[in-house]
Amino acid sequence: GSKDTKAAPVATAIATIGDIENTVSALGKIGPKTYVDVGAQLSGQLEHLHVDVGDRVEQGALLAEIDPRIYESQVEGNRARVDSLKAQLSERQASLELAKATHTRNQSVAERGLIAREVLDTSAASLKQAQAQIVSLHAQLKEAQSTLDGNIANLSYSRIYAPIAGTVVSLTALEGQTLNANQTAPTILRIADLDTMTVTAQVAEADIVRIQTDMAAYFSTLGQPDRRWQGVVRQIQPTPDIVNEVVLYKVLIDVDNSDGALLPDMTAQVFFTVSQARGVVTVPIAAVFSPPQANGASFVRVPCRPACGIGKKSKSCPA
């Protein structure tokens, strides 16, 4: 006799109301949106370093000091020259007043014919000479003052202040180190504003056409995979990175980090929301893409939507 064969049970799932979205995923690195590499404009020994990695500083805070003695001596020398030229100028102005008075007196006497013409010409020449010396001294004083101002500015560069408020994230020079700023300005430290971070995601060329500025995005980190940070696309950089013949474009996303949970160089798994639907009927992905059943059916049966008679045992329909 024949044996009864039992058909394999049909897998079912409940159709529910939920949200769905179409996303593009990419890996990214987290870094501060705003940072400044603080360098030295003077050569010399780094005499004092007032901060360490991790310190939070306000704008204008004193960060470091370079040995100022050479620049102080230059300023003192320039100031002495300025003072000397000012003294010479006072002397020449007195000589000018005397030359003016002498020439005026000679003109009055010459009108009455009491002195020779040569005496009047000599006083006139002396007056012009005194005037020319005044002009020359004014020019020399202006040059000396300019040099003094420049060296005073250089002296002020021996004290390095924070250009922005933020956190010291790295130190590239040590106290006592000699800095050489003759060719390039040596970097001493980096200050970063960690309150706003930027995720730099690398998106493949096949997906970059789907990404737009101001598009919503979210990401998670390896340390907190269950937490989702929200952001928007700020910029799509047009120049790609080519890694092993794979073309990757950089997409920048800004995110608030007021709680300090995100740190520089963290890895982020980024999802760009291309489209989404909220409050729609959802079914498991297996109901849409399922392997063929033994009897040739290629769909999974689920309880029907209300239009199909949900709740009625006698009816069912494919999702």
Q: Note the pLDDT of residue 293.
A: 53
Reported as a pLDDT band with limits 50, 70 and 90, residue 290 is: low
For the entire predicted model, the pTM comes to: 0.69
Better pLDDT: 315 or 128 = 128
Closest alpha carbon to 25 in 244, 208, 246: 208
At 14, is the secondary structure helix, strand, or coil?
coil
Can you spell out the DSSP letters for 49-76? Answer: E---TT-EE-TT-EEEEE--HHHHHHHH
pLDDT in tens, 177-196: 999 988 788 999 999 999 99
Pairing of strands 216-221, 229-236: antiparallel
Q: What is the mean pLDDT of residues 151-157?
A: 94
What value does the mean pLDDT of the chain take? 86
Q: Look up residue 146 and give its DSSP letter.
A: H
Percent of the residues in the chain that have a pLDDT greater than 70, as a whole number: 88
Distance between CA atoms of 154 and 68, rounded to whole angstroms?
9
Each residue's pLDDT tens digit, 42-71 = 999 999 999 999 999 999 999 999 999 999
Q: How far apart are CA 256 and CA 21, in angstroms?
A: 23
Q: How far apart are CA 241 and CA 248, in angstroms?
A: 5
CB atoms under 10 Å from CB of 218, counted, come to: 18
- Give the DSSP letter of residue 157: T
Q: Alpha-carbon distance 69 to 91, whole Å?
A: 33
For residue 116, pLDDT over 90 is answered with no
Cβ–Cβ under 8 Å, residues 274 and 210: yes
pLDDT for 107: 86
- State the Cα torsion 217-222-224-229 to the nearest 10°: -10
Q: Report the pLDDT value the prediction gives residue 4, as an integer from 0 to 100.
A: 55
